[in-house]
Amino acid sequence: MATQWLRRGWLAACASALLLASCGGGDIVDPFTPSRIVAFGDAMGDVGQNGARYTVNDGTINVWTEYVAAQYGLTLEPSSSGGFGYATGNARVLAKPDAAGSNATPTVKEQIDAFLATGTLSDEDMILVSAGTSDVIAEVQAVLTDAQTEEQMLAAVEKAGRDLGTQVRRLVDAGAEHVIVAGPYNLGRSPWAFETGRADLLERASTRFNQQFLVSVVDLGQSVLYVDAALFFNLVTGSPQSYDLAETAPSAYVCTSVDPGPGIGTGAGEVNSNLCTPGTLAAGREQYTFFLFADRVYPTPRGHQLFGDYASGRIKERF
Give the model confidence (pLDDT) of 226-237 as tens digits.
999 999 999 999
Query: In the sheet where 125-130 sits, what is the strand order?
Result: 36-41, 125-130, 179-182, 224-226
pLDDT at 16 over 70: no
pLDDT over 60 (residue 275): yes
Average pLDDT of span 247-272: 91
% of the chain exceeding 90 in pLDDT: 87
Rounded to whole angstroms, the Cα distance separating 39 from 65 reads 7
Mean pLDDT for the stretch of residues 66-73: 97
Q: What is the predicted pLDDT for the residue at 29? A: 57
Look up the pTM and report it.
0.91
Q: Are 5 and 214 in contact (CB under 8 A)?
A: no
Q: What is the rounded distance in angstroms from the CA atom of residue 121 to the CA atom of residue 176? A: 6
The number of CA neighbours under 13 Å toward the Cβ of 224 is 28
Would the pLDDT of 312 be above 60? yes
pLDDT at 24 over 90: no
The DSSP output letter for 190 is S
Percent of the chain with pLDDT over 70: 90
Between 149 and 22, the more confident residue is: 149
pLDDT, mean of residues 70-78? 97
How does 204-220 read in b/e, with b if 16+ C-beta sit within 10 Å?
bbbbbbbebbbebbbeb
Q: Please give the average per-residue pLDDT across 82-95, as a whole number.
A: 98
pLDDT score, position 23: 37
Which of 5-19, 109-123, 153-167, 225-239 is the least confident region? 5-19
pLDDT for 22 beyond 50: no
Average pLDDT, the chain: 91
Q: Taking a C-beta distance cutoff of 8 angstroms, is the pair 214, 226 a contact?
A: yes
Alpha-helix runs per DSSP H in 18-176: 64-70, 108-118, 133-144, 150-173
Residue 222 and residue 168 in contact, taking contact as beta carbons nearer than 8 Å: no
Q: Is the pLDDT of residue 291 over 60?
A: yes
